[in-house]
Structure formats: C-alpha cells, structure tokens
C-alpha cells in the first residue's frame, strides 16, 4: 500500500496562454515566479491599481504585455486562461467577464465570500459548461508536495479508513495588521485557513460533514492595531464519526517553524508537515515507517501545480481536480465556521458531502 504517489501534475505539451488579472503581493511573490520557473506563457497582466504593474516587465521579463483594461485582456485571442489573482470583492464579476469571453478561469480562493454568492457562482458554472470553458479555484495547497503525497496515500488506502485529521499551525503568522486582510471579519477562518480546510476535505472524501464548531480570539500581547484575532480553532464532525481539527495558536515564536499534521486511519497513520522548511511525510503501517522524498515547495511550485492541472484538464476534456463545483464544499465549510465563531462558538449543524473530484463519492 505504499506505491509511488502522484507527482505534481505535468503541464501538457500544448501550453495555453495565460493572462494574470491582479498584480498584488501574491501575484508578484507566487503566481508570476511560479509561471516563470515552469515556463508558462504569460501573455499579459492587468491590475485595477495601475501602480501595481509599473515596471512589472522589468521584474518578470516573461510577461509579454500590460493591458489597459479588463475588456482588452478578455478580448485578446492569445489568452486562453485568465488567472484571477484579486481579492474577493467583485471577483465573481471578473469570473463572469472571462467566461463570457470564452476563457478558462483559475480564480483565487476563497471562491465565494458569502453564502449569497453561491447561487451566483452556480449560475456562472452552468454558463461556463454551456460555453465549453472550465472554472477552477486556486487551491494551490493541494499541490504542496507534502500534502500532495498525503492525498495520494489516503486515496490508495494506505491508512485504511480515515478516522481523524489534525493540523497545528506552529509558525509565525504572515504580516496581517494594516493590510486589507485585517479588515475581513474572522479572517483566519474565512481566508487564511481555507487551504487547510480544503486539504482536510480531500482526506475525508466520501464522508458527510454534519457539525462545524469554530472559535477565534485575541491573544495576550497581540498588538492593538491588529484588528483580527490571532487564534482560531475549527472542528469538523462527520456523520460516521470521523473528525478533523485545525488550530492556529497565534503568532508563534519558534526557531523551527512548521505546520505539522496527522492523518489517523484504521490501518495506519500519516505524519507530515508543510512550510517553514519543515516539509516531510512519513507513513506508519504494520510496524514499519516509510518516509517519502519530496521535490519542490508549496511556494511556488504549488501555484504551478494548480495551473498545470487546469491546463491538463482542458487538454484531456475533463473537469480539473480543483473545479469550482468541487471546491464549493470547502466554501460551505468555511462559511459555517465563520457563523459558528460569530455566534461565540455555537456548533453549526450542516450537511456537506465531501465528494471526490468529478462528483465521485
């Protein structure tokens, strides 16, 4: 039960042209470096804030042009995929513009910011299907090397039936105070931890989440100018008794930053870690421990993996693994966690099926 896990998806031979919409910090620190490293054809970029694209071609020579506006970007016949790297406000309008221009979409997470946006997105996905274009969500954590190997092991049954998933954020938080993210209510639960929730739902595929409980709180010593709580804990309980916990202790002070995780099953345990140079995966089963060699890092190879999977899905005529319809379950979990925290930690009864990509149970 320890076969070679699936590697980060390779790009298809015929590369698609990509336009990056939004040139903020994440686009310049992850998207564009990933595409440069992996030879993605970046046809052009555009930002609603023109100062973000000043000198962009000097920093990233692979960028062929800077667009003057959204209409020019979506009208460019060289663009096959629009990578929407903006914040959540107005994101669905940008998805709609790309879809109606016949472009495939890779949209930043979270795919929706409120429950009211879910039916809007579902309507856009129906329209995309009619037009023959794919809409994926940039859940690039699915291609973080350690998490990717773990997903492959879970899917091949290496630990038997998964009974519990645990994540601990044992590293400093990224700079939050004074950024737009700090103005997002319950930001850790609704934005930062989306990757952790998304990968957890991948490891609990086939289950149905029944109850979500979440809390967040300010910490002793947290600066007054930091509007959002620096602690958050989320618990998912499934109908069959399987469970998951995601915990951010706070802005941890440590010489060995890491994000350790455990996947416990009926036949074994996977122990691993991501970020901070801590990447590792080991499977314990039948009295034997097997450690897996890892190539690459979440930042920035995970971003290339998300784009490669979308391009390969287009090439093969199938839904991508991070298809927006699949990621909607992640969004529902995150929104329920926000509601629980807003209510002071009151458990939220839900029914969220966690299917395999493509709708398979």
Domain ranges across the chain:
18-139, 141-353
C-alpha closest to that of 329 among 190, 155, 235, 201: 201
CATH number of 18-139: 3.40.50.970, 2.40.110.10, 3.40.250.10, 3.40.50.720? Answer: 3.40.50.720
204-227: buried (b, 16+ CB within 10 Å) or exposed (e) per residue?
bbebbbbbbbbbbeeeeebeeebb
Could you please report the per-residue DSSP string of 186-197?
THIIIIITHHHH
Which helix (H) or strand (E) covers residue 59, if one does?
Answer: helix 56-59
CA dihedral sign, ordered 189, 191, 193, 197: positive
C-alpha closest to that of 165 among 264, 40, 89: 264
- The pLDDT tens digits for 105-152 are 999 999 999 999 999 999 999 999 999 999 999 999 999 999 999 999
CA distance 156 to 144: 18
CA distance 279 to 123: 39
Strands 259-265 and 268-274: antiparallel
Give the pLDDT band (50/70/90) at residue 6: low
Asked whether the domain spanning 141-353 has the same topology as the one spanning 18-139, the reply is no
Q: What Rg do the C-alpha atoms of the chain give, in angstroms?
A: 20
Residues in the chain: 361
- The pLDDT tens digits for 278-312 are 999 999 999 999 999 999 999 999 999 999 999 99
Yes or no: say if 118 and 109 are a contact pair by the CB < 8 Å rule: no
- The pLDDT tens digits for 219-235 are 998 999 999 999 999 99
Query: According to the CATH classification, is domain 141-353 in 3.30.360.10?
Result: yes
Q: Which residues contact 78 (CB under 8 A, 6 or more apart)?
A: 17, 43
Give the pLDDT band (50/70/90) at residue 88: confident
CA distance 187 to 194: 10
CA 25 → CA 18, 180, 303, 321, distances in Å?
Answer: 18, 12, 14, 26
- The pLDDT tens digits for 7-47 are 566 899 888 999 999 999 999 999 999 999 999 999 999 99
Query: What is the DSSP secondary structure assignment for residue 64, as one 8-state letter?
Result: -
Could you please report the per-residue DSSP string of 231-277?
EEEEEEEETTS-EEEEEE-SS---SS-BEEEEEEESSEEEEEEESTT
Average pLDDT of the residues of the chain: 95
For range 231-247, the mean pLDDT: 98
Give the pLDDT band (50/70/90) at residue 1: very low
What is the predicted pLDDT for the residue at 360?
47
For range 181-199, the mean pLDDT: 95
Please calculate the CA angle 143-131-16 and round it to the nearest 5 degrees: 45
What is the predicted pLDDT for the residue at 14?
84
Q: What is the dihedral of CA 143, 136, 113, 93, to 10 degrees?
A: 140
| Neighbouring C-beta atoms of residue 114, cutoff 10 Å | 13
Give the pLDDT band (50/70/90) at residue 5: low
Q: Which residues pair with 156 in a beta bridge?
A: none
CA distance 179 to 101: 33
Separation of first and last alpha carbons in the chain: 21
């Amino acid at each position: 039960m320890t076969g070679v896990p699936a590697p980060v998806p390779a790009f298809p031979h015929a590369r698609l042209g990509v336009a990056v919409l939004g040139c903020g910090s994440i686009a310049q620190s992850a998207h564009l470096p990933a595409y440069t490293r992996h030879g993605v054809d970046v046809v052009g970029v555009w930002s609603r804030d023109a100062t973000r694209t000043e000198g962009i071609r000097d920093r990233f020579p692979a960028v062929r042009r800077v667009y003057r506006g959204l209409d020019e970007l979506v009208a460019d016949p060289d663009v096959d995929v629009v990578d929407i790297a903006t914040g959540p406000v107005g994101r669905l309008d940008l998805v709609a513009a790309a879809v109606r221009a016949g472009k495939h979409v890779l949209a930043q997470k979270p795919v929706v910011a409120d429950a009211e946006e879910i039916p809007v997105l579902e309507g856009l996905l129906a329209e995309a299907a009619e037009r023959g274009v794919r809409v994926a969500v940039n859940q690039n954590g699915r291609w973080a090397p350690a998490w990717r190997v773990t997903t492959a092991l879970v899917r091949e049954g290496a630990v038997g039936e998964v009974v519990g998933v645990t994540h601990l954020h044992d590293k400093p938080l990224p700079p939050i105070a004074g950024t737009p993210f700090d103005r997002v209510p319950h930001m850790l639960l609704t934005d930062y931890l989306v990757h952790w929730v998304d990968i957890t739902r991948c490891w609990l595929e086939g289950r149905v989440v029944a109850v979500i409980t979440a809390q967040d709180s300010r910490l002793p010593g947290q600066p007054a100018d930091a509007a959002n709580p620096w602690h958050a804990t989320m618990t998912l309980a499934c109908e069959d008794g399987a469970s998951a916990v995601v915990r951010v202790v706070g802005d941890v002070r440590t010489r060995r930053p890491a994000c350790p995780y455990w996947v416990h099953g009926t036949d074994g345990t996977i122990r691993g870690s991501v970020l901070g140079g801590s990447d590792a995966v080991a499977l314990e089963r039948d009295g034997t421990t097997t450690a897996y060699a890892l190539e690459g890092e979440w930042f920035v190879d995970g971003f290339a993996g998300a784009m490669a999977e979308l391009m390969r899905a287009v090439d093969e005529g199938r839904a991508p693994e991070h298809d927006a319809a699949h990621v909607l379950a992640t969004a529902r979990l995150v929104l329920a966690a926000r509601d629980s925290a807003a209510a002071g930690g009151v458990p939220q009864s839900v029914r969220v099926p966690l299917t395999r990509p493509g709708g398979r149970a």
